[in-house]
Amino acid sequence: MLIQYGYGVVGITVMFESMGLPLPAESVIIAASLYAGSTHHLEIRWIALAAVLGAIMGDNIGYLIGHHFGYGILKKHGQKVGLTEERLMLGRYLFRRHGGIVVFLGRFVAVLRVFVALLAGANRMPWHSFLFFNALGGICWAGGYAFVTYELGKQIEKITGPVGIAMAVVGVCCLIGALVFLKKNEKRLTDEALRQAEEDEKREESRVDKKPS
């Protein structure tokens, strides 16, 4: 099944995650690339292309959904797909200041990757800017994960016996350690940005209240 539908599974999973659905796109790219590197039953260039196209297409669909249905709809129904009030506030804050950077770097942060396109559209980020940073982020994220993981799979294939098993265990441990580190820092940075966003909201409300009627 993986041989027959592998490219489609990669592309569709990445596309739906980029549209805002909480799917394991990163894990699918890694699994398919490791499989290609260790068995050669799939072509890595097609895996990378499927992932990149899925990322770009999914983000643009997510952007259009956010743009046409707007922030009010996301605020009303967003909690059904994990868009809490805090995440919407964080998105407003980030897109006001660092829209292009958020779109690019959001590719590499799990919680942002799912919602960044919807928030970009809802916050009326210019489409041409979004398209550029979205494509750049999709190429670097999807292509980078695919080719780096593929090379790892090829190296594992060349090593046999206990040494190969040991190397595989070490590689997996390093990968898990890196993901844990990124996850911890992601939460800390998100919390800091959220606190700043809340302070900005309070200052804006205070200025509105002080205006003469």
Indicate whether this model's pTM tops 0.85. no
Mean pLDDT score across all residues of the chain? 76
Helices (H), the chain: 2-19, 25-39, 44-77, 85-106, 110-122, 127-138, 144-158, 161-210
Query: End-to-end CA distance of the chain, in Å?
Result: 67
pLDDT in tens, 139-164: 988 888 888 888 776 665 554 445 44
Rounded distance, CA 188 to CA 133, Å? 24
pLDDT per residue as tens digits for the range 51-61: 999 999 999 99
